[in-house]
Amino acid sequence: MPSSNESAKPAIILLSGGLDSATVLAIARDQGYSCHALAFDYGQRHRNELAACERVADALGAASHRVFSLDATAFAGSALTDDVAVPKDRDETEMTEIPATYVPARNLVFLSIALAYAESLAATDIFIGVNAIDYSGYPDCRPAFIESFIRTANLATKLGVDGNTIQIHTPLMEMTKAQIITTGTNLGVDYALTHSCYDPDPNGLACGRCDSCVLRRNGFEQAGVPDPTRYCSGRA
């Protein structure tokens, strides 16, 4: 496990256990931040991502790793939390409408909690792995949302009012999945530790057919990097 620099400037890293957030953690660490990883247990159907968060935070030398428990039972209707079918076998060109895997206002809620956590650590930097290219139709991954949240963050906090500008870093915003994988590989990310699938089998093997699996698999292929994902039913 790489050692963290405790005297470095602190930053909050939103960590999901997936490919994108692992890359963001590696980028923030490479930029010299003391990285405080924040994951969320929000009642997601599949717990594999929380185990992946722990693996990634440990491997990339996070200064701390906290899991925030959130009762999201009121946020109904998502395939990630309820008994709703996960879209399968879609081409990337079909991933333009808001999908069934959308969790109501999830990034808005997560960033708000991350902001409160950041202020408690006197941290003015928050990193999140949103992407405007391979974003699968999620409205809370767009640049306009992030820009709006930055304005709100600086208006709503003591840090911001006192003149300490709060920044939301989105280093993956304009990257393709292949570029993200190339960047992370160069920074030493072991993507075998990550989990992206929306509908894994009981053993945690990726389905290979959901939107996240399709984007991930295509990204490795386009980057020319071997895909370490373990797929179910021989899917590769």
Would residue 4 count as lying in a domain? no
Would residue 2 count as lying in a domain? no
Domain that holds residue 161: 10-234
How confident is residue 119, by pLDDT bands cut at 50, 70 and 90? Answer: very high
Q: What is the mean pLDDT of the chain?
A: 89
- Mean pLDDT computed over 51-68: 97
Instruction: Supply the CATH number for residue 49's domain.
Output: 3.40.50.620
Q: Residue 2: pLDDT above 50? A: no
Predicted confidence at residue 106, as pLDDT, reads 86
Predicted confidence at residue 96, as pLDDT, reads 65
> Which residue shows structure tokens 């660490």?
29
Predicted confidence at residue 134, as pLDDT, reads 64
Please give the structure tokens belonging to residue 102: 């959308």
Rg value, the chain, Cα = 17
- Order the strands of the 125-127 sheet from edge to edge: 64-69, 34-41, 10-14, 125-127, 167-169
Would residue 210 count as lying in a domain? yes
Would residue 189 count as lying in a domain? yes
How confident is residue 231, by pLDDT bands cut at 50, 70 and 90? Answer: very high
pLDDT > 90: percent of the chain: 68
Q: Report how many domains make up the chain.
A: 1
Would residue 58 count as lying in a domain? yes
Q: Which residues contact 67 (CB under 8 A, 6 or more apart)?
A: 39, 40, 41, 50, 53
Would residue 32 count as lying in a domain? yes
Predicted confidence at residue 78, as pLDDT, reads 74
Would residue 211 count as lying in a domain? yes
- Mean pLDDT computed over 139-164: 94
Predicted confidence at residue 3, as pLDDT, reads 43
Per mean pLDDT, which of 125-139, 197-211, 215-229 is the most reliable? 215-229
Per mean pLDDT, which of 67-71, 125-129, 197-201 is the most reliable? 125-129
**Are 49 and 79 within 8 A, CB to CB?**
no
User: pLDDT tens across 165-214, in order?
Assistant: 999 999 999 999 999 999 999 999 999 999 999 899 989 999 999 989 99
Intra-chain end-to-end CA distance of the chain, in Å: 30
Would residue 110 count as lying in a domain? yes
Residue spans of alpha helices (H) in 60-189: 106-120, 143-156, 158-161, 177-186
